[in-house]
A and B are shown apart, each in its own frame.
Chain A
Amino acid sequence: MEHIDKTRLRRNDVIFIAALLAVVAIAGACLYFLRGEGNTVTVTVDGEVYATYSLAVDRVEDIHTGKDGLNRLVIKDGKAWVETASCPDGICAAHKPIHREGESIVCLPNKVVITVSTADSGNQPDIVV
């Protein structure tokens, strides 16, 4: 009897340890992948932080600058882009959607910079040129 009990305990222990290790591994993996993604966009106007938005939440935001400057920021499916803008050159609105750490859209006339960033940049680039 004693012999059998010990064996069963050991087997339970193994299952328990395996379960705990799995939890640790999953938690680690979540953390690792979460920080690897560029998960927020920071909008600055004339050098001042205007707002920070999560890339995980779809939304449309009008960024008002100066007297009647406007850049319409769209966040959808984890990507951000400028839909329309009041600037004469329209370079910002022509810019492809951004989602990777360090990528940015600049509107020179309206002095708007939209940059993808994370709390911890890990192996992602500091800037993109």
Chain B
Amino acid sequence: MKRRILCAALALCLLCAGLSACGKPEEKLEKFSAYSFDYFDTATTIVGYAENQEAFDALANQAIARLGEYHRLYNIYLRYEGMENLCTVNELVDGAHRTVTVDRRIIDLLLYAREMHDKTGGMVNVAMGSVLKLWHDYRTIGIDDMQNASLPPMDKLKEAAQHVDITKMVIDEEKSTVTLTDPQMRLDVGAIAKGYATEQVAKWLEAQGVRGWLLNVGGNVRAVGKKPDDTPWTVGLENPEDPTADYLAYLSLTKEALVTSGSYQRFYIVDGKSYHHIIHPDTLMPAEGYLSVSVICPDSGMGDALSTALFCMSIEDGKALVNSLKDVAVSWVTDDGKQTVSDGWKEYVKK
């Protein structure tokens, strides 16, 4: 009988040990999340660990407010009372662009955009606004009225493509001014602004001492430190060919950005064929060959620009570009659903 009691005690101990090993580890910090729908035409999710709801909200609300400031500054279609933004930079007054004194955050974005233009051999070009506006206008009409959806005429696109020279974007850093010296030129920062703003908000959070947060601004993901239990964030990367299939990969992020450009993200249908939003600078048509290109790198702005640029390049050229940069890993999913990855990608794939 004694022995049975001993056995029962032992079993109880095992059960307890098993339970505690499976159970949630004791943590002082709790996980919270916040959402915003107002900025960059997308949904923003902030997930983070904090001591309580109030502490989380205080920071999350400030982060979202900051994102809102970038959204207004970088908006190319809407102007806001009492401020100069990229919409007013694009405006024509008496047939010409003014020299506009802008917020430093606009100067910094445009300088970064110019740098990325040069690094990618012009595959990301914020001066392509005239071409992209044609696509934007036709897409907007096409989504609204699917029966009458049409493509922008090629002669119009070619005419617009005469005015995409980024050297005509003149920046005076000292005076904090921008001038577009070609009246037909427009800026479109759609390939970089969201990622750049995400990066700035992440950096601000880091400067506040925040760790264990994750930002997701419409697919521009940026990790701000590991989780409190010292594990990385896990991001499931959807299979663009079949979203119900297993994830393409589970990725571990601690401080990196992950940005995906996909042909399924923003598109419209003309005569049964889908036309997405990533316009190739040479063909002036949606870039062909990929379902998605995902980039992991230290900077969300760079990830945003690179994922667009790589979408417009062959895998071979893309690999050469990636290898010339530091700490950049890429996954390409081609139209046939096959995945190709760069050398560094496997480091982030969770085993």
Contact = CB atoms under 8 A, between A and B. Distances in A.
A23 B235 CA distance: 35
Interface in B42-80: 42-43, 45, 47
B234 A125 contact: yes
Interface stretch (A27-35, A53-61, A69-77): A27-35
Contacts of A124: 234, 236
Interface string B1-45: 001100110010011001100111000000000111100011101
A6 B87 CA distance: 92
Interface string A41-70: 000101100000000000000000000000
B277 to A, nearest CB: 15
Contacts of A21: 11, 14
Contacts of A20: 7-8, 11
B214 interface: yes
Contacts of A100: 236
Contacts of B43: 106, 108, 113
Interface residues of A, number: 35
B236 A127 contact: yes
Main secondary structure of the interface of B (DSSP, over half): mixed
A123 B37 CA distance: 29
Contacts, number: 93
Nearest to A123: B234
B142 interface: no
B15 A17 contact: no
A119 interface: yes
Given A102-B236, A126-B234, A127-B235, A113 B35 contact: yes
Nearest to A99: B244
Contacts of B18: 24, 27-28, 31
Looking at A16, A23, A111, A125, which has the most chain B CB atoms within 10 Å of its CB? A125
A128 interface: yes
Contact of A119 (B14, B24, B41, B42): B24
A128 B36 contact: no
A16 B8 CA distance: 9
Nearest to B227: A126
Nearest to B246: A100
B127 to A, nearest CB: 29
A97 B250 CA distance: 20
Query: Which of B236, B237, B238 is the most central at the interface, judged by chain A CB atoms within 10 Å of its CB?
Result: B236
B7 A16 contact: yes
Contacts of B234: 102, 123-126
A96 interface: yes
Interface string A1-44: 00000000100010011001101100110011001000000001
A31 B20 CA distance: 11
B239 to A, nearest CB: 11
B6 to A, nearest CB: 10
A123 B214 CA distance: 17
Nearest to B13: A24
Contacts of B35: 44, 46-47, 111, 113
Among A47, A102, A106, find the residue whose CB has the most chain B CB atoms closer than 10 A. Answer: A47
Contact of B247 (A44, A108, A128): A128
B42 A129 contact: no
Given A13-B4, A102-B234, 17 more contacts: A16-B4, A21-B14, A24-B15, A27-B15, A27-B19, A28-B22, A31-B18, A31-B23, A46-B37, A47-B35, A100-B236, A103-B236, A113-B35, A113-B45, A126-B214, A127-B47, A129-B237
11 contacts: A23-B15, A24-B15, A31-B18, A31-B22, A47-B36, A96-B243, A123-B234, A125-B235, A125-B236, A129-B219, A129-B236
